[in-house]
Amino acid sequence: MKKIKYLEALKNELFFSGTDFVSEFKKTYPNFSESYAKSTLQQNLKNNQIARIGRNKYIVLDNNGVSPYSYLLTNEAEKLKKIVSNKFADLDFRIFELLQLNDFFNHQIAHNVFFLYVESDLGDFVFDFLRDKYPGKILISPSLTDIEKYVVDDIIIIEKLVSEAPKDKNNKSNMILEQLLVDLICDKIMRSLININEIPKVINFILKKYVIDQSKMFRYSRRRNVEKQLKMIMESYIEG
């Protein structure tokens, strides 16, 4: 029972730092070293007892209303991911499928679209490799006109991966929410395929329900020049 006392002391905090964690841990276990306390912090992160929400900012996940987000790719998306990973072992890319948005949007999406965000200057190589495997179902850096003309179910859209796009340590190729929240505001192709009127509500739903590393999110939003728009959306819901 004594073991959870440091978490009990921290769970009512809006957030706490690594120093705060060590301090509370030492109150519970005064005979343990600071290095042991820091390793316990990492273990608690791994076990989803606490979560990182920013640079040196953490929360206790017990009873705070938020949870880690996970999404299981469809078989088709997982197959595409493996094909690309096996061919381009060192490629930095993210995969996202439109059906993933059905977790958040009221207007459900019936037809899937796969997005491959590929690091700069390598999109053409990936396109050339995939077009024989997916004939008639590959677009690279399409215009909105291309989307209107050529989008079919299960099409693969290859776009440039913006530098500093956040990634998950465990699933490096899967798009994480910190990227999705920003791309919902500025990715013209993605926005052309969804009901954009729902986006502000969706962004705030995700922020309230799931663990979000806001340092990652805002760093990426600055890279994409939409930090101001993102903050305005968040503030409008706080005020409302």
Cα dist from 183 to 63, 168, 196, whole Å: 30, 16, 12
pLDDT tens digits for range 67-105:
889 899 999 999 999 999 999 999 999 999 999 999 999
Which of 115, 95, 77 is closest to 192 using CA atoms? 115
Class level of CATH domain 2-60:
mainly alpha
User: When comparing pLDDT for 193 and 62, which is higher?
Assistant: 193
For residue 190, the number of C-alpha atoms closer than 13 Å in the C-beta half-sphere is 23
For residue 64, name the pLDDT band (cuts at 50, 70, 90): low
pLDDT tens digits for range 190-235:
999 999 999 999 999 999 899 999 999 999 999 999 999 999 999 8
For residue 118, the number of C-alpha atoms closer than 13 Å in the C-beta half-sphere is 25
Buried-exposed string 88-97: b where 16+ CB fall within 10 A, e elsewhere:
beebbbbbbb
pTM for the structure as a whole: 0.83
Continuous H helices in 15-59: 18-28, 34-46
Cα dist from 108 to 151, 159, 179, 186, 207, whole Å: 18, 24, 21, 21, 20
pLDDT of residue 3 exceeding 60: no
Mean pLDDT of 171-196: 95
- Give yes or no for a contact between 87 and 45, defined as CB atoms under 8 angstroms apart: no
The span from the first CA to the last CA of the chain, in angstroms, equals 41
pLDDT of residue 239 exceeding 60: no
- Predicted local distance difference test score (pLDDT) of residue 1: 36
Lowest mean pLDDT among 31-40, 61-70, 119-128, 154-163: 61-70
For residue 129, name the pLDDT band (cuts at 50, 70, 90): very high
- Predicted local distance difference test score (pLDDT) of residue 160: 96
Phi-psi region of 152 (alpha: psi -120 to 50; beta: other; left: phi over 0): beta
The residue ranges of every structural domain in the chain are 2-60, 75-239
Phi-psi region of 69 (alpha: psi -120 to 50; beta: other; left: phi over 0): beta
Of 61-65, 133-137, 148-152, where does the model show the most confidence? 133-137
Stated length of the chain: 240
- Give yes or no for a contact between 107 and 132, defined as CB atoms under 8 angstroms apart: no
Main-chain dihedrals φ then ψ at residue 30, nearest 5 degrees: -65, -20
| Average pLDDT value over all residues in the chain | 90
- Predicted local distance difference test score (pLDDT) of residue 154: 95
